[in-house]
Amino acid sequence: MKGRIFIIITILVFLVSCEKGETDNTILKFYSKSYKETGNSVAIAENGTGETYYYICGQFTESLSRDAAGKPGVYKAGEDGNLVGSAVTLADYTGSASKVIISDDGNIVCTGYVISSNSEKDILVWKLNPDLTTDKVHVYPNVDNQYGIDIIETSDGFLVLAATDSKREPEGEMTGNPKGKKDILLLKINSNLEAVSAIPAVGFNGNDEGVAVKKELNGGFIVVGTTDFSDRPSSEQSGTNIIIVRLNSEGNTTEPRIVGGTENEAASDFEVLNDGYLIAGTTGIAGTTLQGHIWKMQQNIYDTTEFNHPIDLEPLVTNKTPYSIKSICRYKANSYVVAGQFNTGLSARMLVFSVDSYGTPDMNRIKKTGGTGTQVANDVVTDSSGNIIAVGNNTHENNSMICFLKFWF
C-alpha cells in the first residue's frame, strides 16, 4: 500500500513540475498520469484572441499498473506549460498517436494506429474539438500492418502518410515487395475521414518508410523517408539511404529518387523551400557514430544534390558525442530549429539548436536540457512570438513521461 501511495505522489509531482533551464525564459515540464507515456508530436493553436494552447499527442496509459497497455491520446497545455485537459480514444483499443495538426476550422486532427483484433496495426485518424471532445474517429482496417505517420490538410480533406507491410506485386528489384517488408502508403480521406481514393503503395524491394509529407509550391505533395535499397554497389556504400517521392495534386506518384553516398543515411524531417527542400536526418550507427546531417535538394528532385554535410556541434572535438535529429521547423526569417537527442543512455538529453539555410549551426544557439533519466525531443515547433516548443520523452527505470520544453534563443 505504501508503495502505491508513493507512486501516486510521484506522478502528481511530475504533473506540475517545472524546472528552470540555462536561461530564465525556459519552461521544462513532465507529464504523466501513469506509466510509459510518450510525446510524439506537438501543434500550436493560436485562436486570435490572445490565447495560445499546445496540443501534444502520443501514447498514454490510464492505469498505475506497469503492464497497462498504451492508447492514442492528446494532452492540452496552456502557455505556461500547465495541463488544462487530456483525452484518449477508442477505450477498447491499444495503440499510439504519431502526429497532431490544427486544421483550418480550428479542430485537432491526429493520425497513428490501433491494434486490431488480429493483433496487426490499423491506421487511425482522430478529429477532436478544441476542448478535446471527439468530433470523429475512424480506423482503416487491413489484414496486414498499416500505421499512420504524418497527416496534412488538403483542399477537400486530408492526406495521411502511412506505412504498410502488405505484399505488392509484381515482385522484382525495382518493383513489388514481399510480405513483411515496408512500403510508403498514402491515404486520401475527406473531411468526414472517409477514404476517397486508393493510392498504390510505393517503394523498392525492401523496407521503405516515409517520415513526413508536405505540400509543394506547385500544388502537389512531397514525401521524404528512408530506404534500405541502394542504387550503388555495396562496396561503395552500405546501410540505408534517403528516399524522396513526388505526388501530383491527385496523389499519383512518380518514380522515387534515392539520395545516397554516405553510409547509414536516415531522414527525420524536412522543410519545403522556395527553391527546393531542406532535409534533416542522421548518418552513422546509433549509440556510437551517429551524427546530425543536412541535405539540400533542388526543386527537381532528380537534379544533383545541392549540398549535404554533417552538422558539427563540436568543431573542436575529435571524438564527437553521438547525437540524433528527430525534427526540423522554420525559425524566424532565414533559419531553422532542429531537435533531437544529444548523447546516449542516462547521459542523453533533449537537444534543440538552430541552423541557417546552409545547415550551419549557430554555436550560440544550442540547448541541451532534461531531468533525471534519458531524454529525447521528438518534435519541435515555433509560435508567432518566437517561442520554441519541443516535446518528447523522459525515460527513467521502467517509467516514461512526456517532456515539454518551451523557451526562446
Q: What is the pLDDT of residue 235?
A: 52
Going along 78-218, which residue ranges are E strands? 83-88, 95-102, 108-115, 121-128, 134-140, 146-154, 157-164, 183-190, 195-198, 208-215
Q: Is 385 contained in some domain?
A: yes
Q: What is the pLDDT of residue 236?
A: 58
64 compared with 348, residue with greater pLDDT: 348
Q: Is 377 contained in some domain?
A: yes
Q: Is 329 contained in some domain?
A: yes
Q: Is 404 contained in some domain?
A: yes
Calculate mean pLDDT across residues 206-228.
94
Calculate mean pLDDT across residues 4-19.
40
Has residue 343 got a pLDDT over 80?
Answer: yes
Q: Which domain holds residue 365?
A: 324-409
Q: How confident is the model at residue 7 (pLDDT cuts 50, 70, 90)?
A: very low
The SS3 assignment for 319 reads coil
Q: Is 365 contained in some domain?
A: yes
Has residue 286 got a pLDDT over 80?
Answer: yes
Q: How confident is the model at residue 67 (pLDDT cuts 50, 70, 90)?
A: low
Q: What is the mean pLDDT of the chain?
A: 88
Q: What is the pLDDT of residue 35?
A: 72
Beta bridge partners of 45: 53
Q: Is 352 contained in some domain?
A: yes
Tens digit of each residue's pLDDT (9 = 90 or more) over 360-393: 999 999 999 987 889 999 999 999 889 999 999 9
Tens digit of each residue's pLDDT (9 = 90 or more) over 34-54: 777 999 999 999 876 778 999
Number of domains in the chain: 1
Residues 389, 402: Cα–Cα separation, whole Å: 13
Q: What is the pLDDT of residue 261?
A: 79
Has residue 122 got a pLDDT over 90?
Answer: yes
| C-alpha 99: how far from chain center | 6
Tens digit of each residue's pLDDT (9 = 90 or more) over 126-157: 999 999 999 999 999 998 999 999 999 999 99
Q: Is 19 contained in some domain?
A: no
Going along 291-373, which residue ranges are E strands? 291-298, 307-310, 323-331, 335-342, 349-356, 361-369
Calculate mean pLDDT across residues 5-23.
41
Has residue 9 got a pLDDT over 60?
Answer: no
Q: Is 391 contained in some domain?
A: yes
